[in-house]
Amino acid sequence: MILVCLILIPFIGGLLCWQAERFGEQPPRWIALGTMLLELALVLGVWWHGDYGLNSAQGASDWVLEWRAAWIPRFGIEVHLALDGLSLIMIALTGLLGVLAVVCSWHEISRRIGFFHLNLLWILGGVVGVFLAIDLFLFFFFWEMMLVPMYFLIALWGHSGSTGNTRIQAATKFFIYTQASGLLMLVAILGLVFAHHAATGEYSFSYEALRHTAQNELSPQMAWWLMLGFFIAFAVKMPVVPLHGWLPDAHAQAPTAGSVDLAGILLKTAAYGMLRFALPLFPEASQAFAPVAMGLGILGIFYGAILACGQHDLKRLVAYSSISHMGFVLIGIYSGTELALQGVVVLMVAHAFSASGLFIISGQLYERLHTRDMRLMGGLWGRIKGLPGIALCFVAASMGIPGTANFVGEFLVLFGTFDTWPWVVVVASGGFVLAAIYSLFIMQRVYFGPAKEDTPLGGLDGREIVMMLGLLALVLWVGLYPGPLLDTSEAAMQNVEHIMTLEETPAMPEETP
């Protein structure tokens, strides 16, 4: 039942915020903050009480918590929620970033506050649903549903670029990319369901039943196509390079809270989807697809990093760096070793922290300077108290300096991949050089160099300091002591590895680049 609460809390909180607007500006903010804190507290409580070291030898899924109820009996669709270590980490991350998103938009959003928080909380509710649903219909339901409030968030509270309507264009682009690719996933899900129907005579969207079908009943060719349907949907959201077109625009135009949500958790739903669905459902096809995925990952790393170097808009730069980081995630996922998969989890968390940190900093700079163009900045080190130092830390984290969470994640990914794909690791490591370049660009262009003006700008207030230092503490904590995180996700990741290696039959020619 607690799983249902986890999903419902943000939705109900959102409705309350909407209605609370009539009482003034502050109530919606406080209600939203309270809602997300409650959510976070619940997740941490679940974390504290559950035992995530469980592991089964068969690669079957062990759920720590499970809840199911019939929904649409006609197709055997259930409201089937389940939680394991991976989903727990992701939901905790959602709760945390939800709090951050509410706090960081405290002053930024001044119009239609209630409706803003309704959208914000509904996104978070949808994301929690994605992380908990293991009925494929339900998963798809949440997957598509969370796009609508995100669309509104960008379209209504976004920053308009120079040419007027760009935030609406960005929002529309985001929506069409993700929605159309989602439909491909729906087709793939239905293909799987009807294959199951042909084999057993029953309709079911249940994860276990379909996994069984996918591994035993599908012809390899069919499995390949269905896998591709899932992969494209996740790849768009991740984003993998040829399908990334929506991301820089969406980030650049979104309000800070939108960017935090987008980078922090929406992108992670894609990686989660691959770990939870694409790989376990189609292990053989995924194995066969791995070379392509690796290639796309490397392409993403370099493409994102190189384009990040050339950006003038701070948020676009961070957006492109996200593409680069997600390349590492993709490589880690498809290498299929436990070490790399664990690295993926840490990297996802780390990237959520560092990217949201950088987006929040861009937001704070924007509040003070009313621009995000780095050509108009420079020399801010002496003009803003506190912010440059914190920014330096987050830039270092994004660069992957040892001691930060990103380092642990990237290191584990590369280390785990090296055994099977040494050349990929060698090439991908080159991405670090570029990461250093664009990260230092940020510091150099924004904070050093000649100052444009001498007037001091407002320093950080208490809210901002608490928020940034808290985030920073988490980055360092995960970087220095990732043990608890790794323990929690260990069983889930071992399962994924198990599924991947189990299917590595000798009959299948192993393609290595």
Contact between residue 316 and residue 304 where contact means Cβ atoms under 8 Å apart: no
- Residue 48 CB neighbour total at 10 angstroms: 7
Q: Which of residues 40-99 bind other proteins (CB under 8 A)?
A: 71-74
Of residues 202 and 461, the one with the C-beta less far from other proteins: 202
Q: Residue 225: which of 250, 189, 255, 253 has the closest Cα?
A: 189
How far is CA 120 from each of CA 64, 100, 346, 488, rounded to the nearest angstrom?
A: 28, 11, 25, 28
Environment class of residue 415 by beta-carbon count within 10 Å: exposed (0-12), middle (13-18) or buried (19+)? middle
Backbone angles phi, psi at 59, to 5 degrees: 75, 15
Environment class of residue 329 by beta-carbon count within 10 Å: exposed (0-12), middle (13-18) or buried (19+)? buried
Region binding other proteins by CB under 8 A among candidate stretches 139-147, 286-294, 390-398, 402-410? 139-147
Q: For the CA atoms of the chain, what is the radius of gyration? A: 22
Orientation angle between helical segments 246-253 and 166-200, nearest 10 degrees: 130
Beta-strand runs (E) in 325-463: none
Q: Which residues fall within 8 angstroms of residue 490, CB to CB, at 6 or more apart?
A: 52, 53, 55, 85, 338, 342
Q: Can residue 8 be called a binding residue for other proteins (CB under 8 A)?
A: no
Peptide bond into 506 cis (omega under 30): no
- Distance of closest approach, residue 31 Cβ to other proteins, in angstroms: 19
How big is the site for other proteins, counted in residues (CB under 8 A)? 31
Interface characters, 156-195, with other proteins (x: CB under 8 A): x-----------x--xx--xx--xx--xx-xx--xx-xx-
Q: Which residues fall within 8 angstroms of residue 164, CB to CB, at 6 or more apart?
A: none
Of residues 114 and 297, the one with the C-beta less far from other proteins: 114
Q: Which residue in 66, 144, 367, 503 binds other proteins (CB under 8 A)? A: 144
CA distance 337 to 465: 39
Of residues 187 and 401, the one with the C-beta less far from other proteins: 187
Q: Which residue in 38, 54, 148, 443 binds other proteins (CB under 8 A)? A: 148
- Distance of closest approach, residue 190 Cβ to other proteins, in angstroms: 4
- Distance of closest approach, residue 73 Cβ to other proteins, in angstroms: 6
- Distance of closest approach, residue 447 Cβ to other proteins, in angstroms: 36
Interface characters, 277-306, with other proteins (x: CB under 8 A): ------------------------------
Q: Can residue 12 be called a binding residue for other proteins (CB under 8 A)?
A: no
- Distance of closest approach, residue 179 Cβ to other proteins, in angstroms: 6
Q: Which residue in 121, 123, 155, 500 binds other proteins (CB under 8 A)? A: 155
Q: Which residue in 12, 38, 145, 309 binds other proteins (CB under 8 A)? A: 145
- Distance of closest approach, residue 80 Cβ to other proteins, in angstroms: 15
Of residues 125 and 336, the one with the C-beta less far from other proteins: 125
Region binding other proteins by CB under 8 A among candidate stretches 145-153, 271-279, 426-434, 458-466? 145-153
- Distance of closest approach, residue 7 Cβ to other proteins, in angstroms: 13
Q: Identify any residues that bridge with 78 across adjacent strands, giving them in sequence order.
A: 70
CA distance 122 to 105: 16
- Distance of closest approach, residue 147 Cβ to other proteins, in angstroms: 8
Environment class of residue 310 by beta-carbon count within 10 Å: exposed (0-12), middle (13-18) or buried (19+)? exposed
- Distance of closest approach, residue 477 Cβ to other proteins, in angstroms: 37
Contact between residue 373 and residue 311 where contact means Cβ atoms under 8 Å apart: no
Q: Which residue in 116, 140, 289, 353 binds other proteins (CB under 8 A)? A: 140
- Distance of closest approach, residue 173 Cβ to other proteins, in angstroms: 10
CA distance 352 to 98: 12
CA distance 14 to 428: 42
Q: Which of residues 187-246 bind other proteins (CB under 8 A)?
A: 187, 190-191, 193-194, 197
- Distance of closest approach, residue 18 Cβ to other proteins, in angstroms: 9
Q: Which residue in 131, 141, 407, 421 binds other proteins (CB under 8 A)? A: 141
DSSP summary character for residue 206: B
Q: Can residue 108 be called a binding residue for other proteins (CB under 8 A)?
A: no
Of residues 190 and 333, the one with the C-beta less far from other proteins: 190
- Exposure letters 4-34 (e unless 16+ CB within 10 A, then b): eebbebbbebbebbbebbeeeeebbbebbbe
Half-sphere exposure of 206 (CA within 13 A, CB side): 17
Q: Which residue in 52, 67, 131, 151 binds other proteins (CB under 8 A)? A: 151
- Distance of closest approach, residue 74 Cβ to other proteins, in angstroms: 5
Residue ranges in contact with other proteins by CB under 8 A: 71-74, 140-142, 144-145, 147-148, 151-152, 155-156, 168, 171-172, 175-176, 179-180, 183-184, 186-187, 190-191, 193-194, 197
